[in-house]
């Protein structure tokens, strides 16, 4: 605000009596910086109205409503500005010669050599008259109006500079994020290439495994075919054996077995005269052919269960092959023996068929009748040969066998009742 009068006064002034080098910024009179200090207050007042507000020193708040600072306020305003170096720096960016006089401009912008220039201006002002001519004061008022408008514009510039700084910071953050994402993407691509390579290697290995599996499957198919052929041959031989056995004199075979057992008895003097076997008693209230009565007999302590193999197998699984019928029958007996802890002996016709030999599972013994002898006769002989003190239960629907073994003191259970119990 002293710019217009400063030039005219400087042109008529003599050099100052005190050397400029002895003057420092600290000794610069506050009145010489009045235009700069009023500019600082104007910028703060305008910045306080912005949203968000422009930061300014707290020491300026008491003076925001002053358009022209009184002489008593200059020192406080100057101290507030000099105490906030960042605000001081912003004022130096926004200051313009048409708004602030030269001394204030030099003090705010602080260009190179500004201390020397400010000392010169202080020395020049020392010889200048303090009374401003009337026309200079009028000019000053006009300039003050212009300064107010220009100050508003400068405040907006400062605000835009702040926005620009924030945008630059945001752009820098985005660049950092972009670099990080690019790095992660490159790492993901590298990992994808590794996985793809591993997948190709695994696919190659899977191809070799598939070839081996195919060869194994082919070999298994051949083995299954050979087993089926062997089973068919065995079943055919069994059928042929059954046909030949149909012409055998059963009564003659029974007589031979009886004679053999009698001969065996003569060779054992201690057991010449055998005690007759007593059948197991069925508790009152149980029907003799009921499942409850059959279960009582089968679960009796120490009992031996003799099973007429084909009589049970053909009744229980008529749609299966002979081999499958035998396996199903033995499996059912095995489950029952495991459940109750009893001893089971299954007798099938024909020892000359494939697989037709005596064998034992965990709790079940499986045997085939000798050549020319039926399983029925083997069951009769088994009952006759056993110790009379041993309880025996014969499972069959063959009434001839039922009659004979009952006469020998054994209990009987129908095949269909046995199947019903075994399938529970």
Of 135, 166, 197, the last residue of a domain is 166
**Distances in Å between the alpha carbon of 174 and those of 60, 163, 184, 272?**
37, 16, 15, 112
pLDDT digits (tens, 9 = 90+) for 1-33: 333 322 222 232 333 333 334 446 677 898 889
Highest mean pLDDT among 17-26, 70-79, 208-217, 261-270: 70-79
CA atoms within 13 A on the CB side of 114: 15
* Strand, helix or coil for residue 112: coil
159/10 same-domain check: yes
- Determine if the peptide bond prior to 52 is cis (ω within 30°): yes
In a domain, 87, yes or no: yes
Total-model pTM: 0.39
Residue 92 near residue 110 (C-beta atoms within 8 A): yes
In a domain, 183, yes or no: no
In a domain, 418, yes or no: yes
Provide the number of structural domains found in the chain: 2
Residue 315 has pLDDT above 90, yes or no: yes
Helix, strand, coil shares of the chain, percent, nearest 5, are 65, 5, 30
Of 146, 166, 186, the last residue of a domain is 166
* Domain ranges, residue 87: 3-166
Query: pLDDT over 90 for what percent of the chain?
Result: 35
CATH, residue 411 = 3.40.50
Residue 245 has pLDDT above 50, yes or no: no
In a domain, 210, yes or no: no
408/289 same-domain check: yes
The pLDDT confidence band at residue 247, using thresholds 50, 70 and 90, is very low
In a domain, 16, yes or no: yes
Mean pLDDT of the chain: 79
Residue 416 has pLDDT above 80, yes or no: yes
In a domain, 44, yes or no: yes
147/270 same-domain check: no
Residue 306 has pLDDT above 50, yes or no: yes
CA distance 56 to 52: 12
Q: Count of CB atoms within 10 A of residue 190's CB?
A: 10
Instruction: Look at residue 388 in the predicted model and tell me its pLDDT.
Output: 92
In a domain, 180, yes or no: no
Of 166, 200, 219, the last residue of a domain is 166
Least confident of 133-142, 158-167, 314-323, 330-339: 133-142
In a domain, 208, yes or no: no
Highest mean pLDDT among 124-138, 142-156, 228-242, 396-410: 396-410
159/254 same-domain check: no
pLDDT digits (tens, 9 = 90+) for 106-161: 999 899 999 899 888 888 877 655 545 544 554 565 466 556 656 666 776 777 78
Number of H helices and E strands in the chain, helices first, is 14, 6
414/268 same-domain check: yes
28/155 same-domain check: yes
27/159 same-domain check: yes
Residue 182 has pLDDT above 50, yes or no: yes
């Amino acid at each position: 605000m002293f710019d217009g009068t400063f030039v005219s006064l400087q042109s008529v002034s003599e050099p100052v009596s005190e050397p400029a080098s002895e003057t420092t910024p600290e000794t610069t009179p506050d009145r010489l910086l009045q235009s700069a200090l009023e500019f600082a207050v104007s910028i703060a007042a305008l910045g306080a109205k912005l949203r968000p507000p422009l930061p300014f020193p707290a020491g300026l708040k008491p003076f925001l409503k002053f358009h022209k600072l009184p002489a008593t306020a200059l020192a406080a305003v100057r101290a507030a500005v000099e105490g906030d170096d960042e605000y001081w720096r912003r004022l130096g960016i926004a200051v313009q010669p048409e708004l602030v006089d030269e001394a204030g401009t030099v003090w705010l912008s602080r260009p190179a050599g500004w201390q020397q220039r400010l000392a010169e201006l202080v020395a020049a002002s020392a010889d200048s008259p303090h009374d401003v001519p009337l026309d200079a004061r009028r000019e000053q008022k006009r300039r003050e109006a212009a300064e107010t408008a220009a100050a508003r514009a400068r405040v907006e510039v400062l605000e835009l500079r702040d926005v620009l700084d924030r945008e630059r910071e945001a752009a820098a953050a985005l660049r950092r994020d972009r670099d990080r994402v690019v790095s992660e993407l490159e790492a993901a691509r590298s990992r994808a290439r590794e996985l793809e390579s591993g997948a190709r290697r695994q696919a190659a290995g899977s191809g070799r495994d598939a070839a081996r599996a195919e060869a194994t499957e082919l070999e298994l198919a051949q083995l299954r075919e050979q087993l089926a052929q062997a089973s068919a041959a065995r079943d055919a031989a069994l059928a042929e054996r059954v046909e030949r056995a149909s012409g055998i004199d059963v009564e003659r075979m029974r007589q031979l077995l009886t004679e053999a057992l009698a001969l065996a008895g003569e060779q054992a003097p201690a057991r010449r005269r055998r005690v007759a076997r007593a059948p197991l008693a069925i508790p009152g209230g149980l029907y003799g052919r009921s499942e409850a009565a059959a279960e009582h007999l089968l679960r009796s302590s120490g009992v031996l269960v003799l099973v007429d193999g084909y009589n049970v197998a053909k009744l229980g699984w008529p749609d299966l092959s002979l081999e499958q019928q035998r396996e199903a029958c033995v499996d059912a007996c095995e489950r029952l023996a495991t459940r109750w802890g009893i001893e089971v002996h299954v007798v099938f016709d024909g020892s000359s068929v494939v697989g037709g030999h005596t064998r034992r599972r965990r709790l079940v013994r499986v045997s085939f009748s000798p050549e020319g002898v039926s399983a029925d006769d083997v069951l009769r002989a088994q009952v006759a040969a056993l110790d009379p003190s041993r309880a025996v239960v014969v499972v069959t629907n063959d009434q001839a066998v039922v009659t004979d073994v009952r006469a020998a003191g054994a209990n009987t259970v129908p095949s269909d009742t046995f199947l019903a119990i075994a399938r529970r």
